[in-house]
Chains A and B, each alone.
Chain A
């Protein structure tokens, strides 16, 4: 919307707040409502918002396809990696008690990384799906 000045300015103001808020939801998820899924969806929503207002190409420039696809795979790998870390440190798979000296802290750390993995995967998948749907009809046919 090149001529839609209001929307562009508002979006420019809002998007950093949305991303910040997504991070808040992610890291405050232990203490209030929130967590990996929500944060992932909100991050994806922010970038989709950007893409809606400034155009898909701009969003693709900000968030290239390669990065998104890497995110999709990396999230699952982070999650599985947490499980493997527990395995290597002498526990069972996905056993967080061994991740730190104090079992409760180990749990906390494990939950944290698992949530990060979930958020990365979810936002990557949502963004990728959006890109696929939005770019499908745009190629010259």
Chain B
């Protein structure tokens, strides 16, 4: 259990923490979505990295190779990526709608305008 044997986890955790920080600390909604993307990629790393075997190759069966990396995480992450971009699009659509309703995409302004006039003109146009 040296440091290098857990290096991939360190990268994963760094990315995850960075994504988390962006999501929590930034008020802009698009920025938040980008942070969510970073977080998501850290999860990809978390899945893919243990599947790698040093000396193995990509899981495409060939007579010349004996050792393959683990294909199962690849499958899971493959679906996760496409779902991720679909949800990203959905989130962006929501942001666009929010911007049309509130004229801002800053979280604080949205909260302020909600408190200012609850159920008022800000919500539906």
Contacts and interface: CB of A to CB of B under 8 A. Distances in A.
A28 to B, nearest CB: 11
A122 B96 contact: no
Interface string A96-127: 00000000000000000000000000100110
Contacts of A126: 85
Interface of B: 58, 60, 78, 81-82, 85-86, 89, 92-93, 96
Interface stretch (A15-23, A48-56, A83-91, A128-136): A128-136
Given A122-B82, A125-B86, A136 B96 contact: yes
Interface residues of A, number: 13
A1 to B, nearest CB: 25
A33 B60 contact: yes
> By DSSP majority rule, is chain A's interface helix, strand, loop, or mixed?
helix
A93 interface: no
B82 A133 contact: no
A31 B82 contact: no
A129 B58 contact: no
A94 to B, nearest CB: 15
Contacts of A35: 78
B94 to A, nearest CB: 12
Given A37-B78, A37-B82, A122-B82, A133 B92 contact: yes
